[in-house]
Structure 1
Amino acid sequence: MSYEVLRGFVESTAKEFGIPGAAVGVWRDGREVYACHGVTSVDNPLPVDERTLFVLGSVTKPWTATALMRLVGDGRVELDAPVRRYVPELVLSDEQAAAEITVSQLLNHTAGLDWRLSVETGEGDDALAAYVAKMAESELIASPGARASYSQMGYNLAGRIIENVTGLTYEQAVGSLLLEPLGLSDSVFAPADAMTRRFAVGHNLGEDGTLTVVRQWKDTRANNPGGGGVSSVADQLRWARFHLGDGRAESGERVLPAELLLRQQEPTVELRGSSLADAFGIGWFLRDVDGVRTVGHGGSVNGQFVDLLMVPERNFAVVTASNAGPDAGLAFNQAVVRWVLETYLGVVEREPEPLPYDEVRAREVVGSYANELMTLTIATDGAELTMACDIKPEIRAATNTELPPDLPPARLGLLPGDEDEYIVTSGGLQGQRGFFNRDDSGTVAGADLAGRLFTRVRA
């Protein structure tokens, strides 16, 4: 497939979704090809290229997991050990859980920790330690090991393990363990390290419908292990080539034993009704697409979106980055990844078909659901179900951080079977899948969306 065909699709799709700037990279047949479009910022525009820096969001999590796996390979960390062996200062609302949570449960999202912790602990070297101290204020959503639920909090705690074991800050440790030996020269954490390079800023739609620059460029320092990395598409393809390899850097240096690298790509816990993945590995989302196994991760911050997907059996990878929200960048990335898989590999992703509207089933799920940060409101007009996903007003009021706007309500369709699964069929979350949880009496008590649990607070 020629560069011109890829570039043409990227440009036309970016224009369709109103993306100011995007970068796409593909690794295939031992070579890489890039297609870039648009500008870094509508206010201070520079052309986007393959070395333009984007905020990775949760695509940082594989960095954290792989850094910990390097410490495992060096005999400095044990995956099945309790977290308190390495973070003795850990205090949670449930003392038994605090004592039982293991390192591996942090890395495969089964620790029982909530999605996020809405606290601000500054930008100093003690930011992560202060964040962990604040975790005592958060209630667990499940007993350790009882279920999988995607957790930024868990990965930030994993970052604290890295700090305590190495005696370095998280950022210094990841630099020395991974970024430097792998030659990821475009990959940084601190805004001060990015500002001397070409970097993209996020954009959201203003009230008048025009794109405006997001002033909050990235999340707080304490969230670096779960979502604070900054990198280019070129570096992300190099990172993908490492994970498609045998644990050696391109220089030949052994960074990770091959068996540990491959272990990261093996299922540790299956997921039910999730668009994230069929299973979590160690730091990776694992998903079968049209009979082909894929390994990857997606990430978002305010007005920026990144997706990385690998197909190990084909020695293939695609990475895409875009700078428009709250929903356009996600839709753009999904469209590009699907097109690339179909065009280059003949792999076609198909969404499940929802059932016709059923009033009885609809009435069972209507209500409000919430987690630490957000609310889901599921409603019906008697003809269809809708879902609104909003940041809690009290969260907006309690922070000076610029938060993304709420998405408008989208249509929701229930799926066949007796698993209470659903799919979002319109809007910025189109294609996202989830399921409803029932209590012992059979009443719907919660909703999972994109791997995150929302507890029902009102019918």
Structure 2
Amino acid sequence: MWIRTKKQGSSPAGRLTAALGLTVVALAGLTPAALADPAPANALTPAAIDRFMDDYLEETGLPGAVVAVTRGDDVVHTAGYGHSAGGRPMTGRTEVPVASLSKSMTALAVMRLVEEGKVNLDRPVRSYLPEFTMADERAARITVRQLLNQRSGMADSAFPDLTLPQAHTLKGSVARMRGARLAAEPGTRWSYHNPNYFVAARLVEVVAGEPFADYLRTRVFTPLGMAHSRSVDSTTDMPEDARGYVRAYGRVVERGHPRWFTAGGHGVVTTADDLARWLIAQNNGGVAADGRRVVSAGSVDVMHTPPKGERYAMGWSLGEANGDEEPPLQHTGQLLTRNAIQILLPERKIGIAVVSNTGMISGDDSAGIADGLRDLAEGRSPEIREPFTMTADWVLAALTLLALGLGTLGTVRAKRWALRAAGRPLWRAGARALPYAALVALFPSLPELMGLLMRREGTLDQVLYVWPALYIYCAAASLAATVVIVVRAVHTVRTVRAARAC
């Protein structure tokens, strides 16, 4: 570093003054901080996190996100970046919905009741919640543990929750399952299903004798110091009504969120500052940042340990290990316009939480950000992993144009096709129409195809949120195929009539 000093002249006094000045400057620089090696660029520091996040937002166009990173019982960094759908700058105190990260918090509420001796994990749910009935006698055998581990036998395939009218209360959410059947014998199969946690939350409020949101606040959030966290009943009770963004063709489009019932399964609203407190307790065996024990280490271990042969525990799942390190624990949270993730690196005692205001699949930014922060935590230079739809959408755009082009060409040539088909057996014309018929069926069957991919049942309108470019491609391909079939049929009928008239 060059230091510019005022010229003192060539006299002995001037030279002495200059020498003393340089000595003072030099000695001032020899502080312990200056002598220490600067933190490498790939160290997990607030500055490195900020640099990575700034680069991520610039490269991907992500509107906004909040981040919480902890190590042991220390907060490494909490911050917000970008802006909300309402245009407000995001900070560490910005309220954000964390969707299914809520499940681990509901599980902790249940474990508080277990430690108080009010609930036994291996007793049937119905022994605490008689109102829990289904049109399947096997439901009487579902245990509390099976609910929390998503092994109750309930599944979207038997009760497609998000395609049905939504409840308004936890009591109503349990009551509407009375006509539902199970998809499997309790305890035999894992299936991710939000109503498992609606039932768990209703169990909490019945056993505790108070509303679930109140119990969660007084017995979980307040002891952990999470003063700005709460549970809400629906997306309409969330900040900005859960309004956020979806990605399409390299751009983000602001969208409102339909009303979903959320309590217990995906209804917690919190902040990055509070998420840091949550992560600390998870990594420290149930001890809060201020040293207060909220739940026993044994209970935390139960919540973090999947059943034998499974990867899902009580609101947590095993991730992919890096080398010889212990696999991380993690869970994602997804709304149509928001997504979130929390990760624990047990050996390093590091916790990472990210919430972004883009929706599932079309903008899974939180998972990409968390991967970059994990790179920093494990001493690697972070990579920016763009949501795959930022590339896939352009492939779908090309396929959409191709479908429309081929449809136009098929329509123009329909008369010629009909003339050729008139002299052939009818079955051959029908066989040649089958590929077009398959394309016609593609669009209305899109929810089922996406359901197979995501193991969740949804609606056509929800697909437009989840992946707009795929929706547009399927709609265009089905429309083009429909037009070709109709125009060919019209020309074929005319050709046959003309031939008979002759």
**TM-score (structure 2 length as normaliser):** 0.65
- Following superposition, the deviation at residue 282 of structure 1 comes to 2.3
Counterpart of 1:20 in structure 2 is: 63
The 3 A distance-change label for structure 1 pair 18 and 328 is farther
1:203-246 CA distances to partner (integer Å, 9 max, x unpaired)?
A: 22589965223254x632xx210001111111111101011113
Task: Give unpaired runs (5+ residues) of structure 1.
Answer: 272-278, 352-365, 380-385, 411-459
C-alpha distance in 1 between matches for 2:75 and 2:101: 23
Counterpart of 2:299 in structure 1 is: 260
C-alpha distance in 2 between matches for 1:185 and 1:199: 21
- Following superposition, the deviation at residue 172 of structure 1 comes to 1.1
Q: 2:347 aligns with which of 296, 305, 313?
A: 313
Q: 2:333 aligns with which of 296, 299, 312?
A: 299
Aligned ranges for residues 46-61 of structure 1 at < 5 Å?
Answer: 46-61=88-103
C-alpha distance in 1 between matches for 2:320 and 2:252: 38
Q: Is the 8 A contact 2:102 2:266 kept in 1?
A: yes
Percent same amino acid among aligned pairs?
A: 27
Matched, 1:111 2:184: no
The 3 A distance-change label for structure 1 pair 49 and 81 is same
Aligned ranges for residues 316-331 of structure 1 at < 5 Å?
Answer: 316-330=350-364
C-alpha distance in 1 between matches for 2:143 and 2:212: 19
Counterpart of 1:289 in structure 2 is: 321
C-alpha distance in 2 between matches for 1:138 and 1:102: 17
C-alpha distance in 1 between matches for 2:195 and 2:448: 18
Matched letter for residue 449 of structure 2: L
Counterpart of 2:105 in structure 1 is: 63
The 3 A distance-change label for structure 1 pair 389 and 159 is closer
- Following superposition, the deviation at residue 304 of structure 1 comes to 0.6
Q: Is the 8 A contact 2:234 2:260 kept in 1?
A: no
C-alpha distance in 1 between matches for 2:225 and 2:51: 30
- Following superposition, the deviation at residue 25 of structure 1 comes to 2.0
- Following superposition, the deviation at residue 388 of structure 1 comes to 12
Q: Is the 8 A contact 1:388 1:407 kept in 2?
A: no
1:304-336 CA distances to partner (integer Å, 9 max, x unpaired)?
A: 111110112211011111102343541x22222
Q: 1:91 aligns with which of 129, 133, 157?
A: 133
Aligned ranges for residues 301-380 of structure 1 at < 5 Å?
Answer: 301-330=335-364, 332-346=365-379, 374-376=447-449
Matched, 1:73 2:115: yes
Aligned ranges for residues 238-257 of structure 1 at < 5 Å?
Answer: 238-257=277-296
C-alpha distance in 1 between matches for 2:378 and 2:249: 41
Matched, 1:237 2:276: yes
C-alpha distance in 2 between matches for 1:233 and 1:80: 34
C-alpha distance in 2 between matches for 1:58 and 1:25: 17
Cα root mean square deviation, aligned:
3.8
Task: Give unpaired runs (5+ residues) of structure 2.
Answer: 1-42, 386-437, 472-502
Matched letter for residue 350 of structure 2: F
**TM-score (structure 1 length as normaliser):** 0.70
Count residues with an aligned counterpart. Answer: 364
Q: Is the 8 A contact 2:451 2:458 kept in 1?
A: no
1:92-144 CA distances to partner (integer Å, 9 max, x unpaired)?
A: 1211x111100000011110111352444554xxx111111111232322110
The 3 A distance-change label for structure 1 pair 121 and 70 is same
1:352-410 CA distances to partner (integer Å, 9 max, x unpaired)?
A: xxxxxxxxxxxxxx9999xxx9422699xxxxxx99998334xx5xxxx9983545459
Matched, 1:174 2:216: yes
The 3 A distance-change label for structure 1 pair 87 and 390 is closer
The 3 A distance-change label for structure 1 pair 165 and 92 is same
Q: Is the 8 A contact 1:128 1:156 kept in 2?
A: yes
Counterpart of 1:455 in structure 2 is: none
Q: Is the 8 A contact 2:153 2:188 kept in 1?
A: yes
Q: Is the 8 A contact 1:205 1:326 kept in 2?
A: no
C-alpha distance in 2 between matches for 1:25 and 1:248: 18
C-alpha distance in 1 between matches for 2:134 and 2:382: 41
- Following superposition, the deviation at residue 178 of structure 1 comes to 0.3
